Amino acid sequence: MQFGIFDQNDHGPYPLAEQYENRLKLVEFYDQVGFRTYHMSEHHATPLSLTPSPSVFLAAVAQRTTRLRLGALVYVLPAHHPLRLAEEICMLDHLSGGRIEVGIGRGASPHELSYFGVDPDHAQAMYTEAYSVIMKALTQDEVSFDGVHYRFANVPVSLKPLQRPRPPLWYAVSAPEGAAWPAENAINIVCGGPVQRVREITDRYRAEWATAGRTQETLPLLGIHRYVVAADSDGEAMALGRRAWPAFYQSFMKLWKLHGTPSRIAKMVSEDFDTMVQNGGAFAGTPATLRDQVKRLANASGTNYFIGQFSFGDLRHEEVLHSAEIFAREVLPLAGERTALPS
């Protein structure tokens, strides 16, 4: 089992510049104690993310860390010109000393894409074309492409990533059939939602991996995301989560409520923290509680990578740092155990 960080960088209790600095201090801590990767989201026109440009923030992260891998989870490809994004990925890979990891997706919110003049009905096709262009730009000296949404001929490529042939890729999977493509292309995945559904996805990924003649020892990372609050007592952890969650939930749902539309992913995020804990979407408690929860989750879900989100809502910097310190001291040693075995 390996461990990473996910960060929405949602609206918190500090002025923006102070929030950025506090986040960077947390990332320095994640780097020092041995988390594998710092993953961050991309959202626009919403308090769910105050870092809408992942590349800009990751450039700062790269300068404040030495070992921690880093990347967007995910870059919303329809919101970027693919040639420009490929250049940013190359820059980040060199600025970080070859530590960049690239998440790709079409975007979960049609409202955010609409603000950018992107028709949400075209998002999947734009994502598919953009992915093809980016892969060409990262691995070839010249790019030509003749698609519906992107067309160019003989574009010279001056930048190449430090990691060859390209940095590792990540893809979010929400259904078992969605595991086939990343397994075929050796792409890491991240899942959310109920553990039974995640197990169906990881079983499908392993099956596709084996069908391709690959060994389980070379399996990419199969990640699962959970919100985490660690404290000196279960009661304290629950109190912190209950206090912080309403602000986060309000940010999470703002655009969906503004437009009066149902969220495709709202079923993964309950309105109150107690329900999140009860349904397994959030972990809260002492080191002993968290160790037990993580072990059981890994074995039940078939995952080999746990991605914790420690910062959310109105949690203050010192509260998040204390939570992450407890987790790092007491739970990160599980990285030496093989806890995610297929049954």
- Check whether 136 has a pLDDT greater than 90: yes
**Could you tell me which CATH number the domain at 1-37+44-50+177-343 has?**
3.20.20.30
- Read off the pLDDT band of 45 (50, 70, 90): very high
What is the C-alpha to C-alpha distance for residues 141 and 130, in angstroms, rounded to an integer? 17
Domain spans, the chain: 1-37+44-50+177-343, 74-172
DSSP string, 225-286: EEEEEE-SSHHHHHHHHHHHHHHHHHHHHHHHHHHT---SSGGGS-SSHHHHHHTTSEEEE-
- Read off the pLDDT band of 338 (50, 70, 90): low
Cβ count within 10 A of residue 239: 15
Cβ count within 10 A of residue 217: 5
- Read off the pLDDT band of 342 (50, 70, 90): very low
Write out pLDDT tens, residues 70-120.
Answer: 999 999 999 999 999 999 999 999 999 999 999 999 999 999 999 999 999
Classified as helix, coil or strand, 238 is helix
Write out pLDDT tens, residues 153-212.
Answer: 999 999 999 999 999 999 999 999 999 999 999 999 999 999 999 999 999 999 999 999
**pTM of the model as a whole:** 0.96
What is the C-alpha to C-alpha distance for residues 313 and 179, in angstroms, rounded to an integer? 31
CB 57 within 8 A of CB 95: no
Write out pLDDT tens, residues 261-311.
Answer: 877 666 678 999 999 999 999 999 999 999 999 999 999 999 999 999 999
What's the pLDDT score for residue 30? 98
